[in-house]
Amino acid sequence: MEKPATLPGVRAEMIRTARLTQHVLRCGPQDGVPVVFIHGNFSAALYWEETMLALPAGFQGIAPDLRGYGWTEDKPVDATRNYRDWSDDLAELFEALRLPPAHLVGWSLGGGVALACAMDHAPRVRSVTLINPVSPYGFGGTKDLEGTPCYDDFAGSGGGVVSPEFIRRIKEGDRGADDPNSPRNIINAFYYKPPFRAVREEDFLTGSLAERIGADRYPGDFVPSANWPNVAPGNWGVINAGAPKYLTRFVPELLALQPKPPILWIRGSHDMIVSDNSMFDLGTLGKLGFVPGWPGEAVFPPQPMVSQTRAVLERYAAAGGRFEEHVLLDTAHSPHIEKPAEFNAIFHAFLHKE
Average pLDDT over residues 1-23: 96
> pLDDT tens digit string along 221-279?
999 999 999 999 999 999 999 999 999 999 999 999 999 999 999 999 999 999 999 99
Q: Per-residue pLDDT for 286 more than 90?
A: yes
Domains, in order of start, for the chain = 11-353 (3.40.50.1820)
CA distance 282 to 162: 10
Residue range 17-23: average pLDDT?
97
Q: What is the DSSP string of 276-296?
A: TT-TTSHHHHHHTTSSTT---
pLDDT digits (tens, 9 = 90+) for 197-218: 999 999 999 999 999 999 999 9
Q: Which residue from 153, 126, 191 is spatially nearest to 334, judged by alpha carbons?
A: 191
123: Cβ contacts below 8 Å, ≥ 6 apart: 101
The model's pTM is 0.98
Q: Spell 127-154 as b/e; 16+ CB within 10 A means b.
A: bbbbbbbbbbbbbbbbbebebebbbebb
Q: For residue range 38-75, list pLDDT tens digits in order.
A: 999 999 999 999 999 999 999 999 999 999 999 999 99
pLDDT digits (tens, 9 = 90+) for 124-145: 999 999 999 999 999 999 999 9
The DSSP bridge partners found for residue 266 are 131, 326
For residue 303, give Cα distances in angstroms to 13, 159, 215, 246: 39, 17, 25, 17
The burial class, CB within 10 Å (0-12 / 13-18 / 19+), for 55 is buried
Beta strands in the chain (DSSP E): 11-16, 21-27, 33-38, 59-64, 102-107, 125-131, 142-143, 148-149, 213-214, 218-219, 222-224, 231-233, 263-268, 323-328
| Residue 25 DSSP SS3 | strand
Reply yes or no on whether the pLDDT at 154 is more than 90: yes
Chain-centroid distance of CA 156 in Å reads 19
Mean pLDDT over the full length of the chain: 97
CA dihedral 235, 239, 245, 249 (to 10 degrees): 110
In this structure, the number of other CB atoms found within 10 A of the CB of residue 14 comes to 11
pLDDT tens for residues 79-115?
999 999 999 999 999 999 999 999 999 999 999 999 9
CA distance linking residue 115 with residue 131, whole number of Å: 12
User: What pLDDT, on the 0 to 100 scale, is given for residue 118?
Assistant: 98
pLDDT in the model for residue 1: 73
State how far the Cα of 327 lies from the Cα of 331, in Å rounded to an integer: 9
Residue 313 has pLDDT above 90, yes or no: yes
The DSSP string of 136-174 is TT-SSSEETTTTEESSTT-TT-SGGGS-HHHHHHHHTT-
